[in-house]
Amino acid sequence: MEKPSANKILLAIDVHQRSTLSLEYAIYFAKDTDTEIVILHVLEETAMLKRLFTSDEQRIKVYTEAKELLDKLLENIETGLGLPARTIIRYGKVYEQIIEVANEIKPKFVMVGKNDSLTLTRQILGSNTVHLIKESMYPIVTVRGQKYILDYENTPKNIVIPLDLTNECSEQITAAIEYGRFFGSKVHILTVQRSQSASLEIKLLTRLNRATKIIQKENVECSFELVKNTVTPVYKLVNKYARKVDARLIIIMTQQERDIVDYFIGKSAQMMLDNSEIPVLSVVPWIHTEDSVFSIFVDPLGIFDTKG
């Protein structure tokens, strides 16, 4: 696939829902990174809706109402805020259309939020969250928290990245560099040690130091913290650390061949996405070609070789 556009954010919303927290975040990100907002509204064609809207006239009416609402929203963004934006309306399943449009416009990331509608919440941020993230070739930002956007705008530009340094993690380091640059942020690495092993602690601290130096060498500010905890769920530790450093974003790496990296197995990943007070960006591993989603991180010295 081709590289993502550095100047597009795909925002999936339901225009009939008044409370659009994800829209507020998208506007903030667009202003902060000088990007265009592409707003997607999906007219979901469930079996029930197909029975209700049997005629072309009814379908046109629903489409027209949605377009009018989108046009008003577009005018507020372009005229009121001076931001570039455009809208797209599609028919079909919500998550399938999000993936299809993302493949067409190649955004830097896709945003979805729990306040957009009951339908969108059920289709994306419920049991199908991992399903959407796994199928999308582009990073997904999920907005679940209730933090006021003004408070969010006034926080430092900090990103938290949980790293499982017992496994190979060069792609996570690449994501840290890529998004640290894009957002102009400081990267805070968090690693959780699940045992009291002194030898493991030394090994993890060595790798954390190496990871930090690599990120800093790419002109991205970076620090790390190692937490020894055998009881508390990982997602709670991540949320606690994100509050501690006043983070604006949490980035997790997912896997296509598994539901989530071992660091966030199954339910832990879902809990992370469902309970984070700030946006969570989920990144899938990229295919190592010239047209990869990210530039490729090269580890010629094998410093992240987990055998060492």
pLDDT given at position 226 = 96
pLDDT in tens, 8-58: 999 988 776 644 678 888 888 898 888 999 999 988 765 555 555 556 677
- Examine the pLDDT at 306 and tell me if it is beyond 70: no
pLDDT attached to residue 289 = 38
Cβ–Cβ contacts within 10 Å for residue 19, how many? 12
Query: Residue 144 pLDDT > 80, yes or no?
Result: no
Which whole number is the average pLDDT over 142-169?
74
Distance separating alpha carbons of residues 44 and 55, to the nearest angstrom = 16
Mean pLDDT, rounded, of the chain: 77
How high is the pLDDT of residue 146?
Answer: 59
Q: Residues 135-160, buried b or exposed e (16+ Cβ, 10 A)? A: bbbbbbbbbbbebeeeebeeeeebbb
Look at residue 263 and tell me whether its pLDDT is greater than 50: no
Q: How many contiguous H segments (helices) and E segments (strands) does the chain have?
A: 11, 10
Higher pLDDT, 274 or 208: 208
- The string of pLDDT tens digits covering residues 59-72 is 788 888 889 989 98
pLDDT at 1 over 70: no
Residue-range domains of the chain with CATH: 8-143 (3.40.50.620), 156-283 (3.40.50.620)
**H/E element holding 40?**
strand 36-43
Note the pTM of the prediction, 2 decimals.
0.80
Q: In this predicted structure, what is the pLDDT of residue 5?
A: 54
- Tell me what the mean pLDDT of segment 135-162 comes to: 77
Count of C-beta atoms within a 10 Å radius of residue 287: 11
Which one is predicted more confidently, 109 or 121? 109
Residue 239 or 128, more confident = 239
Q: What is the Cβ-side half-sphere exposure of residue 254, based on CA atoms within 13 angstroms? A: 28
Q: For residue 4, count other CB atoms closer than 10 A to its CB.
A: 22
Give residue for tokens 């969108």. Answer: 120
Q: C-alpha angle 139/264/297, rounded to 5°?
A: 50
Q: How do residues 197-254 score in pLDDT, each as one tens digit?
A: 999 999 999 999 999 999 999 999 999 999 999 899 888 999 999 999 999 899 887 6
Determine the average pLDDT of the residues in 88-102.
90
| pLDDT above 90 coverage of the chain, percent | 30
Lowest pLDDT segment from 78-92, 184-198, 206-220, 268-282: 268-282
Q: Mean of the pLDDT values across residues 271-292?
A: 68
> If you average pLDDT over each of 142-151, 236-245, 249-258, 277-286, which comes out highest?
236-245
Mean pLDDT: which of 24-28, 283-287, 299-303 is highest? 24-28
Q: Which two tokens stand for residue 231?
A: 């009881």
